[in-house]
């Protein structure tokens, strides 16, 4: 949810809470001005007004909780590993650059993007690649998965749970020529 929507929910919740509290205060006679008499004071003791005030408060609490709750679990920007001497943090960007290094070392493969994120089972690596034509994809992808997994585990000491590879495109040797339309 965007911050503007959250701000709107909080402001609307506060407005409804104020209206609900005012309605309940009038119903129970908590607001009395000796010189001030308006039609609002006719709500004193009215059970319908009490229900409306309570309903407004309930809706206000719901809107405030929606507006103020956290947007979910933030994705960590680093992974913590502890050793006998202390803690070690490895950033996600550093691990993604390690994956890039492996991809660049495989002949006929170009990097199309990579993403690393931690899970309870270990790291999950997503790699998008572009490959040269006429390469045997099952063998190439298997080699890439093994090298990425082995390199990350060796360098970081973290468990790589899964390496997902998406062959995004085939790299063409020549730029395709434009089609000529007959007149």
Per-residue pLDDT tens for 117-132? 988 899 999 999 999 9
Measured in degrees and rounded to the nearest 5, phi and psi for residue 63 equal -65, -40
pLDDT of residue 33: 62
Digit-by-digit pLDDT tens for the chain (183 residues) are 677 888 888 899 899 898 888 878 777 777 666 655 565 555 667 778 778 888 888 988 998 888 888 766 555 687 777 778 888 888 999 999 999 999 999 988 888 899 999 888 999 999 999 999 888 999 999 999 999 999 999 998 889 999 999 999 988 765 555 656 666
pLDDT of residue 23: 79
Domains of the chain: 3-68 (no CATH), 78-170 (3.30.70.1350)
The pair of three-digit structure tokens given for residue 128, joined into one six-digit string: 């998008």
- Smallest CA-to-CA distance from 96 within 163, 7, 177, 40 is with 163
- Cβ 56 vs Cβ 43: under 8 Å: no
Measured in degrees and rounded to the nearest 5, phi and psi for residue 40 equal -65, -30
- Cβ 152 vs Cβ 160: under 8 Å: yes
Pairwise CA distance, residues 174 & 177, whole Å: 9
pLDDT of residue 26: 75
- Residue 124, class by beta-carbon neighbours within 10 Å (0-12 exposed, 13-18 middle, 19+ buried)? middle
């Amino acid at each position: 949810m965007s911050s503007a929507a959250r701000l709107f929910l909080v402001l609307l919740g506060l407005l409804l809470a104020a209206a609900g509290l005012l309605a309940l205060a009038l119903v129970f006679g908590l607001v009395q001005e000796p010189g001030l008499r308006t039609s609002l004071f006719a709500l004193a003791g009215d059970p319908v007004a009490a229900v409306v005030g309570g309903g407004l408060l309930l809706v206000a609490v719901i809107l405030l909780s929606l507006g103020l709750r956290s947007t979910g679990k933030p994705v960590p920007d680093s992974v913590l590993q502890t050793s006998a001497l202390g803690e070690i943090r490895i950033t996600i960007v550093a691990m993604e650059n390690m994956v890039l290094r492996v991809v660049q070392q495989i002949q006929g493969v170009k990097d199309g993007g990579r993403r690393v994120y931690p899970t309870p089972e270990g790291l999950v690596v997503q790699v998008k690649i572009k490959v040269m034509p006429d390469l045997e994809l099952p063998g190439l992808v298997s080699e890439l998965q093994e090298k990425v997994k082995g390199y990350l585990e060796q360098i970081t000491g973290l468990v790589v749970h899964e390496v997902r590879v998406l062959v995004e495109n085939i790299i063409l040797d020549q730029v395709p020529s434009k089609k000529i339309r007959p007149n």
